[in-house]
Structure 1
Amino acid sequence: MKIAYITAHAPFGRGETFVLEEMLAMAELGVELVIVPRNPPKEVFHDLARQLLDRAIWLPLFNWRIFLSFLKTVALNPRLWRILGRILRHSRTLKILVKNLAVVPKAVFIAGLLRQARVEHIHAHWGSTTATMAWIASELTGIPWSVTLHRWDIAENNLLRFKVERAAFVRCISEDGRREVLCIVGETYQDKVKVLHMGVRLPDTLLPQFHPSRPDFVFACPANLVPVKGHRFLIEACALLLETGIRDFRCLFIGDGPLEAEIRQQIAQLGLEEVVSLVGRLPHGELLRMYERGEVDAVVLPSIVTGDDEREGIPVALMEAMAYGIPVVSTNTGGIPELLSDGAGIIVRDKDARQLAGAVERLIKDEKLAREIGEKGRRKVDEEFNLHKNVKLLLQKIKSK
């Protein structure tokens, strides 16, 4: 089967590693992929992305070829006028309207490419403008399409009801996300909106995760430096650990983002330079090799609900650590409790540095507890968040439409 994936950037750029993994798993099942990133950079950052480059169509968001194709379709295809009319009528804010109109010419151009390539299904990740592109390409070609919704893209509500109506099916990655979608679009679509988790690969063998010979307990926070990840509360938790006399630990922030300067300032103000380090963004394979070598004793993700109600879906960063038997600590936000239920991780209140510090202290002091949580986490991932199992289910869903 030939499936087109519409992504934000992948396989280019630094993000969407979970989409890369899913597309690779699709290819391993014999699916012929055509990958169309919305506005790809030139950079190829992740090792596994290189395995998909020959399947990707690198095109800028706009060039003269795209513009000429758009003008031709405007002149000859009345269906495009109806599409434009729907965008103008149903984009609920000026910002959303401008974003949607910006991707129309490229969507028109790729529609022709996908028709020529005899693509049988289009799948978009994110319900924002990537889904707008998938919908337009489907309307112009008759190729069925579907979308995976994550979290912020649900809250944005970019033509969401209309897209749910037109898609063959809609995949949410958590029960929490599905509830939010149905609150927006209505219970009429409950049979079309399904939950199918993202997944990660489980390593074949595991090394011991705890090393008595290592002087420090190392916990990592692999997350973009953005408000929803709640880094400042983990920094406060590190300060609380020092206040209680616990000094044999190191906290690694693995990621980059707009809050880097603010986070560095907070670390300096609290005098935490010796225990808290900003590693920067790592290629996906390098992070997994750290886990494989047993260099990380725990993963902590202090996610919060922001003032504008942004929250997590189910973070793949937690799943990946759990797959390696690494105990995880996170918060009661978004779909995280769905992942960490039944003792698969420690759940604390969001924005509560004292609870975060207490959870980390428990793992530092109780190796047996840490091992038990790590084992339960790995079982949970194998049963519910296994990449190969879930990609097979997604492919079955696509083939049934």
Structure 2
Amino acid sequence: MKPKVMQICLSDGWGGLEMYPARIIPELARQGWEAHGLALEGSRVASSLVDAGIDPLTVGSRGQALWRVRRILAYLKAHGIEVLHCHKSSDLRLGALLVSLRPQLRLFFTDHMGVTRPKRDPFHRWSYGKVHRLFSISEATRRRNLNAFPLPAERIRRLYLSIDPAPYVDDLDAGEKSALRAELGIPEGAVAIGLPGRFSRGKGQALWIEALGRLAEMAPDQAWQGVLIGGLTVGEGSDEAVVAELRGRVAELGLESRVSFAGFRSDLPSCLKALDIVCVPSRNEAFGLTVIEAMAAGRPVVGSSSGAIPELVSEETGRLAAPDAPEAWAAALVELLGDAGLRERLGAAGRRRVQEEFTLSGHVAALVGEYAGQEAAPEA
């Protein structure tokens, strides 16, 4: 009989945290585990689980999940599920209650966001005390977790996020790449400097635009195009006020012809292949999935020297710049703009690092080892 795990994500949002359960489910199946899910009725999480090939158990609200705990326990017993994996801290109330009522359950929690304040009051001591292993998605978040959570160090493990590198292999022929670059607003012959991601104040788009303004002054004869890739409306997950402010600043700097707003794209792996440089100016990224996606596509990355990004980007794969220093960003871009060979070398090194350290198969292998009770080496 296959071992079984229930992924619990009672969120009505849609971001990297919410996408994670569906991303790992096919690989869990390949590695011999049967996945089940618990999600909010009608949520994008629930539909993503269906798309991943499972029929999730659903509840109308987090509160309903608590007062229907007996129904959930019956489901776990009927399906022989003994492993629970939560992805939102608010779901740990339910997870801890389930473990209290059925002690043979093993509870895991991934801190996708990075805790910002201590959680050592009696409630958190009880709920986190039921967690068998807490996964931190970077060393930066693990350091904060060690200080914030009422758990011994051996129960907090760093487990980097990961991707399947295959869709990012640069397999576009010249015609396909030319057509895609035209769709993204990139003129022929220009070096494309991309920033993919949701529009919000923490993602650094404002700093990036200031850096492009400096770049225009520092390299007036260089042909380049800035490309912002991401939904432009609330319905697409972005802050419309931020989008309006960015458009206004682009106009003030006279960059309308040099910065394109490409909008939401469902084909991000292909879009990354159409770019020449990828920027990730987030001020306090808990991990930086876009960084490893760009590296998998063989693109050099300019990233913020804060949060977890310095764990992913080195001098061998890109450049780092302070998240409040547009001049430093412009200087890094000037260096890369003028040296196609350097861009190629950095991109190739990034692709190798992803293949060695950030594959989905490796991530899930470590995960199922934990599910199965295989103790990892202790971390400092």
Q: 2:154 is aligned with what amino acid?
A: D
Counterpart in the other structure of 1:36:
38
Query: In angstroms, what is the RMSD of aligned CA positions?
Result: 3.0
Residue 313 of structure 1, CA deviation: 1.3
Counterpart in the other structure of 2:55:
55
Q: Structure 1 residues 114, 263: closer, same or farther in 2, change over 3 A?
A: farther
> What CA deviation, in whole Å up to 9, does each residue of 1:279-301 have, x standing for no partner?
33333xx111223xx31112101
Q: Structure 1 residues 43, 56: closer, same or farther in 2, change over 3 A?
A: closer
Residue 156 of structure 1, CA deviation: 5.0
> What CA deviation, in whole Å up to 9, does each residue of 1:338-371 have, x standing for no partner?
1113522211111111111111222211111111
> Does 1:155 pair with 2:116?
yes
> What CA deviation, in whole Å up to 9, does each residue of 1:101-122 have, x standing for no partner?
xx63466653443333321200
Counterpart in the other structure of 2:91:
130
Counterpart in the other structure of 1:27:
29
Distance between the aligned counterparts of 1:161 and 1:282, measured in 2?
A: 42
> What CA deviation, in whole Å up to 9, does each residue of 1:8-62 have, x standing for no partner?
549x95653344322332122232111122465359897xx66325332343216
Distance between the aligned counterparts of 2:188 and 2:45, measured in 1?
A: 36
> What CA deviation, in whole Å up to 9, does each residue of 1:131-165 have, x standing for no partner?
3332223223332110111234x115566554442
Counterpart in the other structure of 1:70:
none
Distance between the aligned counterparts of 2:154 and 2:329, measured in 1?
A: 39
Counterpart in the other structure of 1:248:
223
Distance between the aligned counterparts of 1:45 and 1:216, measured in 2?
A: 40
Q: Structure 1 residues 344, 240: closer, same or farther in 2, change over 3 A?
A: same
Distance between the aligned counterparts of 2:286 and 2:80, measured in 1?
A: 34
> Does 1:201 pair with 2:174?
no
TM-score normalized by the length of structure 1: 0.77
Distance between the aligned counterparts of 2:189 and 2:68, measured in 1?
A: 54
> What CA deviation, in whole Å up to 9, does each residue of 1:237-277 have, x standing for no partner?
11112223155222222224122222222223323222222
Q: Secondary structure at the match of 1:136?
A: helix
Q: 2:32 is aligned with what amino acid?
A: G
Counterpart in the other structure of 1:377:
350
Aligned residue pair count: 347
Counterpart in the other structure of 1:351:
324
Q: Secondary structure at the match of 1:290?
A: helix
Distance between the aligned counterparts of 2:54 and 2:314, measured in 1?
A: 40
Ranges in structure 1 where 5+ consecutive residues have no aligned partner: 67-102, 305-310
C-alpha contact 1:343 1:377 (8 A) present in aligned 2: yes
Q: Structure 1 residues 248, 59: closer, same or farther in 2, change over 3 A?
A: farther
> Does 1:146 pair with 2:108?
yes
Counterpart in the other structure of 1:114:
76
> Does 1:260 pair with 2:224?
no
Counterpart in the other structure of 2:209:
235
> Does 1:169 pair with 2:133?
yes
Distance between the aligned counterparts of 1:32 and 1:289, measured in 2?
A: 31
What percent of counterpart residues are identical? 24
C-alpha contact 1:8 1:40 (8 A) present in aligned 2: no
Q: Secondary structure at the match of 1:300?
A: strand
C-alpha contact 2:87 2:109 (8 A) present in aligned 1: yes
Q: Secondary structure at the match of 1:6?
A: strand
Q: 1:23 is aligned with what amino acid?
A: I
Q: Structure 1 residues 135, 237: closer, same or farther in 2, change over 3 A?
A: same
Residue 168 of structure 1, CA deviation: 0.8
- The one of 265, 271, 280 equivalent to 1:301 is 280
Distance between the aligned counterparts of 1:8 and 1:356, measured in 2?
A: 38
Q: 1:288 is aligned with what amino acid?
A: P
Residue 395 of structure 1, CA deviation: 0.5
Residue 303 of structure 1, CA deviation: 1.4
Distance between the aligned counterparts of 1:177 and 1:209, measured in 2?
A: 40
Counterpart in the other structure of 2:183:
none
Q: Secondary structure at the match of 2:347?
A: helix
Distance between the aligned counterparts of 1:181 and 1:264, measured in 2?
A: 38
- The one of 284, 288, 302 equivalent to 2:269 is 288
Q: Secondary structure at the match of 1:191?
A: helix
Q: 2:244 is aligned with what amino acid?
A: A
